[in-house]
Amino acid sequence: NFLITAGPTHEAIDPVRFIGNLSSGKMGIALALEAAKQGAIVKLVLGPTYLDCNHSNISVYRVESANEMYNKVNTLFTNSDISIFAAAVADYTPENVAENKIKKSDNNISISLVKTTDILAEMGARKEDHQLVVGFAVETENELRNAKEKLEKKHLDMIVLNSLNNKGAGFEYNTNKITIIDKQNNILNFNLKDKSEVAKDIIAKIIELR
């Protein structure tokens, strides 16, 4: 049983605006499809994206906000054997959401933000011995050091590092260039590949760890 998160979250400012990011969900969807093709039962928690994910072994749960993603993951995590957190979840959300569209008036406006629940950290702390938890780290500087710190701090079994300094890697691309680090500090570097091929590399490493 796989639990996979994918895509961005949208944190509402008012009925027509939100805070978001550039994640497309392509990497997480590729992981869900690869796991399903290998016979896994997959629960895919998918943030707002135009993409679909269709396979008889995959159940898709669409969410919008970080809080909605947390609530859905919270209900599915206990029954998962392997959880891959590939979603780009907002770290902050507006403290108050305007009931009506904010009109253009003053030259400046301020929006107070509050932290969202750290889904990856909470699930990493809760995992049982039979569960394996994989995180993603998207970095722009001190990439390897930051990824290793995240691996340890959030009690992960493995982390997949994306550097936005690598051409063709990261958000919106059909390709990705990753580094995998496991909790034994084994480091695997991969060449730039189509995300479907990257998914095969990640799933293969997970099977090895299992």
Q: Which of 1, 21, 71, 166 is catalytic?
A: 21
Instruction: With beta carbons less than 8 A apart as the criterion, state whether 154 and 124 touch.
Output: yes
Instruction: With beta carbons less than 8 A apart as the criterion, state whether 145 and 179 touch.
Output: no
Going by C-alpha positions, the residue among 208, 205, 195 that lies closest to residue 31 is 195
Whether 67 is catalytic is no
Longest Cα–Cα distance in the chain: 58
In degrees rounded to 5, what are phi and psi of residue 82? -130, 125
Going by C-alpha positions, the residue among 118, 127, 189, 185 that lies closest to residue 155 is 127
Residues with a catalytic annotation lie at 21
